[in-house]
A and B are shown apart, each in its own frame.
Chain A
Amino acid sequence: MRKWRYDSPNDVERTPLERLRQFPREPDMLVYGLRSLGALIIRALLRVYHRFEIIGHENLRTNRSFVIVANHCSHLDTLCLLAALPLRKLHRAFPAAASDYFFQSVSRLWIAAVVVNALPFARQVRVRQSLSLCQDMLGNPGTILIIFPEGTRSTTGEIREFKSGIGALVAGRDVAVVPCFIDGSFRAWPKGRRLPRPGKVRLIVGSPRTFRDRGADKIDICAISAELREAVNELRHENGRH
């Protein structure tokens, strides 16, 4: 008789808290269910409370792995981008979240791991390691990475400089990058406010592009980051009410 192979996950002997903290996470029926339910509630709230609207939705329709790049001034940004994805792709969509902010306290950790499905990104130390984690994830088919290259929420509503990491992630690789601009989230829920106030929020999705034929040297990487920032800025001026 051939030996049975038990295909147990590597986190069997970890505590529930350690399992939340680890990445990549093992699929879990309860977590998937809660995440889908949470997504439905968030979508309904965005629709009603923020009169959420998506422009250029067709640019997100692909089954390949891609990276979403957007401006960042509010916690609403992540929720808006997730709300633009079909429900069945939710569990393969990973917003990169600061591990020093989202992966410390238990309540934030729970929201980041269960509701948002965040990828812990170390933005101060070991940035390179986090980037290679992102690259590994993009290697799996159908992965969606959500990255805010400004590195933090903008306190003025203006788009800050994009960090070079996003350039390093996509330079020379056959990965589509979709620039997005989120309009109105700064007024609705700026940094430092406890709860959002009602106000229209729009998501403008730009056309995808790749940086396959670009080198991975420092100059190109910085140029890619600047180009992407310019692309997001353009979306703002074409459609924004600034």
Chain B
Amino acid sequence: MFRTYWSWLVIAGVGLLVVFAGRIPTIVGVTLLGIYAFKEFARASGLYRDWWLTGAVYAGIVTVGIASVMSHPRGEEPGTGWYGFFAAAPVFAIALILLIPILRNRARGELQRMSLAIVGFIYIGWMFGHLGFLANAVNAYGFLCYIIFATALSDVSAFTFGKIFGRHPLRSEISPNKTWEGALGALAISMILPWLLRFSFPFFGARQLILTGLIVGIGGQLGDLSISVIKRDIGTKDMAATIPGHGGILDRIDSLIYAAPLFMHMAGYYYPLR
């Protein structure tokens, strides 16, 4: 319990330091975190034994990071971050992944490995990469701090409400410890939080605040459950044991993977990010 608490403090400290160091450190940090989280996924799923495909996904994750840092070479879109390339990154990454078995002249078991590589890239590299791209927004500090803090708080409140009031299992086949009470409690907290921390995005109206609450409250927990589906099928309890008391990096960022891209596209729909 204490280890979990200390790890939270360390994560919060390092996270704040990286986010406030600026745009590029944030994108680099998110990319490194994505690479490590994918490594955990690849190890747990056995994809890691194929260094070619693992390397292809690493290259894809780095490409997402580069697309977030650089601006459009012909300057058609103003501002930093090459959104078009960022959004198209899966095309190139999947093309590379499909190319690898052809180059190596192999077919046996390749569908499984390619599928794992594509899921790993889309899910961890690209979806989580949105958190790095969010650093390009004018209101980057507000967005980043809010989404990171809110998903963490949603996790903690789901755990707490579940511990105190938990009766009815949420998804018994996926994660036996999660309860409806915990999920609804987390949703309630997540719906209130945008109003309490309204200074993070002063230009948001009521509709955007409600959407933010829903994305964090529901999306965060869906992210949690989706990683549980993967773990359940593989048959491990945690993806790794990197962070004392938390499990792997992937177990920690699971809610962000789901919530960050939805949040970014919601905010980008109503307001230009730059």
Contact = CB atoms under 8 A, between A and B. Distances in A.
Contacts, number: 43
B54 A12 contact: no
Given A15-B244, A29-B51, A29-B54, A8 B43 contact: yes
A7 B237 CA distance: 16
Given A4-B112, A6-B234, A6-B235, A12 B44 contact: yes
Contacts of B48: 9
B231 to A, nearest CB: 10
Contacts of B44: 6, 8, 12
A8 B234 contact: yes
A23 to B, nearest CB: 18
Contacts of B4: none
Interface residues of B, number: 21
Of B46, B55, B235, the most chain A CB neighbours within 10 A belong to B46
Contacts of B236: 8, 12-13
B110 interface: no
A192 interface: no
Contacts of B238: 12-13
Contacts of A4: 112
Interface string A10-21: 001111101000
A13 B51 contact: no
Interface of A is mostly: loop
B237 A13 contact: yes
Nearest to B112: A4
Nearest to A29: B51
B59 interface: no
A9 B46 CA distance: 7
Contacts of B45: 6, 8
B242 interface: yes
A160 B241 CA distance: 44
Nearest to A5: B46
A6 B230 CA distance: 11
Nearest to A4: B112
A25 to B, nearest CB: 13
Interface in A1-51: 4-9, 12-16, 18, 26-27, 29
Interface string B210-244: 00000000000000000000000111111111101
Contacts of B244: 15
Q: Which 8 A-B pairs have the closest CB atoms?
A: A7-B46, A15-B241, A6-B46, A6-B234, A8-B46, A12-B44, A8-B44, A12-B236
Given A12-B239, A13-B237, 12 more contacts: A5-B46, A6-B44, A6-B46, A8-B44, A8-B45, A8-B236, A12-B43, A12-B238, A13-B238, A18-B241, A26-B43, A29-B51
